[in-house]
Structure 1
């Protein structure tokens, strides 16, 4: 319209127009350079993060390999200690102090066995393909073996209920009519032992109640303790690797592998491990293990 003479075109408008074009070009160039530099920085950061992640993965892999190797090497001397302890007990000393020393040795040995089992299980779980050595497995002997930590405690006792009926003796535990599922018995024992071990460690005493119940096409194994429960801010992390619940008891030790390993073993069998009850009067953890319809 200015060129056609319809509107006046002062020289000031021309100058503003030209300067606006120059500023706009410089602004676009500045934004483009900034975007390119930011993209280059993001690429460098992603590459560095990828390198650090790879280093972390390799370090974790070698750590698990080392722990598995050490745990494997510990198995033989621990087996020798356990066998020697049984020989000493079979002699039948009447000295109560000596019997208590034997019990302390048994507890310490069982703790180390539990730790080595967890390290070996963690190494297997962390492998590219976890191979389960499945076979027809009796659940009662698994539980009978897993409650060894309770038997070594002076302040705890335990009982087993099957479908709300009390199973009173070890002979009954290992009866031929024991419930059976297809599972890896070694890994399953480790999983149940870890939860029972935690029930002993995180409760000052009292009853550890194990319930075995059939639910449609699955068996449930629940472990109830009489501890002080888990604080709400820690519930979300109890199943994570190397994460532990703080305890007022300074003697409670561990690496935070137990519940992580137990849940992974349960999931590898197509089941689950969950915290189903948490209160100041104790916790209840529950395994759900699927079984074939023909299994009983």
Structure 2
């Protein structure tokens, strides 16, 4: 669709009657005419407007038309404006030659030929409009090119994201297979050994004093598989926004104590111990099952990477909120990895050396904390342990709203 281009014309003459006559000749729609009775006034107009054409009288008091043209040619803003000189002097003065030297595109003698003036003005107005239209098209093409470049970058980013998703899926399936195979292999070997004993009528391994340890080993492997499956189910619920919370009043200090006691044997097996500092009750309205999951994930994480050192668990609260921190003295986390380990399936190179896992625990932990309107922070450095601090409001926000937030 053609654009409407306004073409401004500048006429300069020290005689008002000449200006009126010239304007009457060249006035047209979308072609406003600006008058100046001196070179100085013309310069002011040139600073404020973009002109398609300037028609200058040569003989003016003060700065004449030639001098004005030279000033126009010396300024970037006005250098490309076409100039037509008008003069009442005789042809023998050779003003036309001087005018062309000053950069004029044409020279007219008075009295003016109306048809010639209109024709010449129309030529330069058309050139100006074509030039503006071309500039508009070039700008449009440049904008289209920028949009295409943006689209290409978006497509590349989408491709990278898809490739990453495929890699994550493959890695995930590989990790799940590996993680589930470990407890399954252990159970399978246990059953094979027991079957061998039974085939030889060797009942000694099944003596009453040995059965509790046997059952405990089986339960531990089954619990490992259940934990993996639960983690995968929780991630699926979070992605779909279906993970909800059911807040009720309970004591965070008491819950932390229960979790510490339940993991005491696991800590002993890892050569570590929990040091709980929860001197006062901290009551709040949270989902007890989910907060227990948060504490369990953090303590289990500390046991994995704590290097068999004591683990400090602290619970505090006031009228503004509640805080739970877990400090270990293990391998620590490098600054560049501290944000990444809260994402799905993300683990550091050091963590892979120390323990197996899907890389879901901290992701699930952060999502649960955010469902409660809280945040989790990490302070750590390589070789200096880590401190995970959970901050919770005393009452979890509306569960329906949380379901939406967690999926975003």
- State whether TM-score is above 0.5: yes
Separation of aligned partners in 1, 2:256 and 2:229: 18
**Contact 1:159/1:210 (CA < 8 Å) preserved in 2?**
yes
Show structure 1 runs of 5+ residues with no match.
Answer: 82-87, 165-177
3-state DSSP class of the match of 1:194?
Answer: helix
Aligned to 1:170: none
Is the 1:278–1:284 Cα contact (8 Å) retained in structure 2? no
C-alpha distance in 1 between matches for 2:256 and 2:206: 24
Secondary structure class of the residue paired with 1:156: coil
Query: Separation in 2 of the partners of 1:157 and 1:280?
Result: 19
Paired residue for 1:236? 339
1:216 correspondence with 2:319: yes
- Which residue, 300, 308, 320 being the options, matches 1:205? 308
Q: Who is 1:4 aligned against?
A: 87
Query: Which ranges of structure 2 fall in alignment gaps of 5 or more residues?
Result: 1-57, 59-84, 107-123, 188-204, 396-408
Number of the residue aligned with 2:274: 158
1-structure distance, mates of 2:384, 2:329: 6
- Does residue 32 (structure 1) correspond to residue 137 (structure 2)? The answer is yes
Q: Is the 8 A contact 1:118 1:190 kept in 2?
A: no
The worse-fitting range, judged by mean Cα deviation, of 222-231 and 7-16 is: 7-16
Rounded to whole Å, the distance in 1 between the matches of 2:279 and 2:375 is 20
Deviation (angstroms), 1:144: 2.7
TM-score (norm 2): 0.49
Matched, 1:285 2:401: no
Query: What CA distance in whole angstroms lies between the structure 1 residues aligned with 2:217 and 2:240?
Result: 35
Alpha-carbon RMSD: 4.7
**1:233 aligns to what SS in structure 2?**
helix
CA radius of gyration, larger in: 2
Deviations 1:204-256 (A, max 9, x none): 21212212223334332211112022112222333333332331662523333
Q: CA deviation at 1:268?
A: 1.6
1:134 aligned onto 2:247: yes
1:227 aligns with 2:310: no
Q: CA deviation at 1:270?
A: 2.4
> Residues of 2 paired with 1:237 and 1:147: CA distance?
31
Map residues 266-281 of structure 1 onto 2, 5 A cutoff. 266-276=369-379, 278=381, 280-281=383-384
Partner residue, 1:181: 284
User: Structure 1 residues 143 and 266 mapped into 2: Cα distance closer, same or farther (>3 Å)?
Assistant: farther
- CA distance, structure 1, for counterparts of residue 136 and residue 101 of structure 2: 27
SS at match of 2:303: helix
1:199 CA displacement = 0.9
Are the aligned partners of 1:202 and 1:227 in contact in 2 as well (CA < 8 Å)? yes
Please state if 1:265 is matched with 2:368. Answer: yes
C-alpha change, 1:129 and 1:272, in structure 2 (3 Å) is same
- Higher RCO (Cα < 8 Å, 6 or more apart): 1
Instruction: Determine if contact 1:238/1:259 at 8 Å carries over to the other structure.
Output: yes
Q: For the structure 1 residues 149 and 38, does the alpha-carbon distance in structure 2 shift closer, same or farther, using more than 3 Å as the test?
A: farther
Name the CA distance, whole Å, in 2 between partners of 1:17 and 1:92. Answer: 114
Shift of 1:110: 3.8
Contact 1:212 1:219 in 2 (8 A): yes
TM-score, normalised by the number of residues in structure 1: 0.64
Q: State the Cα distance separating 1:135 from its structure 2 match.
A: 2.0
- Residue of structure 2 equivalent to 1:172: none
Paired residue secondary structure (1:126): helix
Once residues 146 and 120 of structure 1 are traced to their aligned partners in structure 2, the CA distance between those partners, rounded to angstroms, is 25
User: C-alpha displacement at 1:263, in angstroms?
Assistant: 1.9
1:92 to 164, 187, 209: 209
| Counterpart for residue 14 of structure 2 | none
Q: What does residue 294 of structure 2 align with?
A: 191
* Distance (Å, rounded) in 2 between the aligned partners of 1:111 and 1:230: 25
